[in-house]
Amino acid sequence: MTGEQIIFGLIALVTLAFAAGMVTVNSVFHAALLMIGAFGGVAALFVTLNAGFLGVVQVLIYVGAIAVLVLFAVMLTPRVMAQQDTRPRYTPQWPLAAIIAVLLTGVLVIIGITVNWPVQAQFAPATADYAVELGKAFMGPYILPFEVASVVLLVALVGAIVIAREE
């Protein structure tokens, strides 16, 4: 194993730890903080794969916008901060979920080890031209889907505000 592979594996393990903590913690606020760590880990994985542009976009959009939005929503909603989770920590579904998770992990590990994955000796270096081409694609042949997505997000935002105001 090379040093890059070891660093990638360590970052992947830390990212998985953040993600596992995010879905197992009781506090919504702590889950949002762990989500920021998981998003940051994914950005670091992009950087280790020589996809710096995607890493920066990950940090700007997910860590910088969505995670902070979730934190503000949690902190500004008194009902969420005041509620305590009174459900039992152990439910009857845990054994079945654990068995399925272990089996799925085993299948994925076996596939990862036995399949002869093609390896590219050297990746093409990422340049600023990729970002320019992406921008041209969004403003060229994909302008309609891009604008439809923005209108759908705007409608969802207005709908969320209307629903929140009625309560």
Secondary structure of 75-137 as H, E, C letters: HHCHHHHHCCCCCCCCCCHHHHHHHHHHHHHHHHHHHHHHCCCCCCCCCCCCCHHHHHHHHHH
Arithmetic mean of pLDDT, 5-29: 91
Query: How many residues can be counted in the chain?
Result: 167
Could you tell me the end-to-end alpha-carbon distance of the chain, in angstroms, rounded to an integer? 57
Arithmetic mean of pLDDT, 78-102: 74
Residue 58: Cβ-neighbour burial (10 angstroms; 0-12, 13-18, 19+): buried
Arithmetic mean of pLDDT, 84-111: 84
pLDDT at 108 over 90: yes
Cβ–Cβ < 8 Å for 55, 47: yes
pLDDT at 43 over 80: yes
Arithmetic mean of pLDDT, 53-58: 86
Helix 68-76 × helix 28-48 angle, to 10°: 180
Confidence of residue 66 (pLDDT cuts 50, 70, 90): confident
Confidence of residue 80 (pLDDT cuts 50, 70, 90): low
Cβ–Cβ < 8 Å for 50, 126: yes
- pLDDT, residue 81, reads 52
How much is the CA Rg of the chain, to the nearest whole Å? 21
Confidence of residue 86 (pLDDT cuts 50, 70, 90): low
Residue 43: Cβ-neighbour burial (10 angstroms; 0-12, 13-18, 19+): buried
- pLDDT, residue 6, reads 92
Q: What share of the chain is helix, strand, coil (3-state, %, to 5)?
A: 80, 0, 20
pTM: 0.62
DSSP 6-45: HHHHHHHHHHHHHHHHHHH-S-HHHHHHHHHHHHHHHHHH
Of residues 31 and 82, more confidently modeled: 31
Cβ–Cβ < 8 Å for 58, 39: yes
**Maximum C-alpha span of the chain:** 58
